[in-house]
Amino acid sequence: MLKARVVTSVVSLILIAVVLFALPTQIAEVLIGLLLVIGAWEWSGFLGLSSSVTKAAYTAMVSACLALVYFVVPEKTPLILQIACVWWFVAFLWNLRFPTAIPMPVRWLCGLLVLVPLYAALILLIRLGVDYLIFTMLIVWAADAGAYFAGKKFGRVKLAPAISPGKTWEGVIGGLLLVGVLAAATGLSRNLDIAVFVPFCLGVAAISVVGDLTVSMFKRTSGVKDSGTLFPGHGGVLDRIDSVAAAAPLFALGLGWLGLA
């Protein structure tokens, strides 16, 4: 399992590098959209749908919304990102109350709230500069890596045992500490006000944890371990983008608030 995870991670990094640095921007944006369409198909698995036709209909609905954001109303991106930030705050409160029943119409809506703002945020970050997107992913990766190693070494107090029994508060703190170091080093190298930049990055890291827990909450409710099998050892698309889905909208929106882009 570990070997599969390592191989998948290396291959994924190579593919990300090719998409972001070797391909024209427009093609990269379309490929990211197609990846999220796969994510929509995986989300249809949380809806209790047995028919492939119905799953395809839900995937088509999400795809239409992604296309709408990309082709028709790109000027609404700030509003979409604001809605996403509200949604993820609601999701945080929801995580605190889990386990709770999730009505089917809510499950349908939540798939849109996860995937559509994510696409809007990723497109905005790419157009601002690929380095912004890379740094967003670095925040998420640092939070995840720090949480993993700190959790294994010091983990005692469960973070959300009903949702993700393996996560601990000590792991979260370890992840935030690593993100703080990353943000401070980046801020100093870019001559940014670290008194503002570091707390902002810590906020992005914190909400990435909410994204992870929220998708896990839907998987728990649906009785599945992974959202899919596209990435051997890692699960599906949603398993890989859950944290980014929450972090990217806040980071993209915060760049404007802080005057960083």
Tens digit of each residue's pLDDT (9 = 90 or more) over 82-115 = 999 999 999 999 999 998 888 889 999 999 999 9
Contact partners, residue 42, CB within 8 Å, separation at least 6: 227, 228, 236, 237, 238
Residues of the chain above pLDDT 70, percent:
95
Alpha-carbon gap, residue 53 to 173, rounded angstroms? 44
Average of per-residue pLDDT across 141-162? 94
Alpha-carbon gap, residue 251 to 200, rounded angstroms? 8
Q: What is the pLDDT of residue 2?
A: 46
Q: What is the pLDDT of residue 225?
A: 83
Residues of the chain above pLDDT 90, percent:
72
Q: What is the pLDDT of residue 20?
A: 83
**CB-based burial label for 127 (10 Å; 0-12, 13-18, 19+):** middle
Is it the case that residue 10 has pLDDT exceeding 80? no
Q: What is the pLDDT of residue 258?
A: 85
Selection from 66, 121, 57, 117 nearest residue 88 by Cα: 117
- Give me the chain's average pLDDT, please: 91
Q: What is the pLDDT of residue 233?
A: 61
Q: Which pTM was predicted?
A: 0.93
Is it the case that residue 4 has pLDDT exceeding 80? no
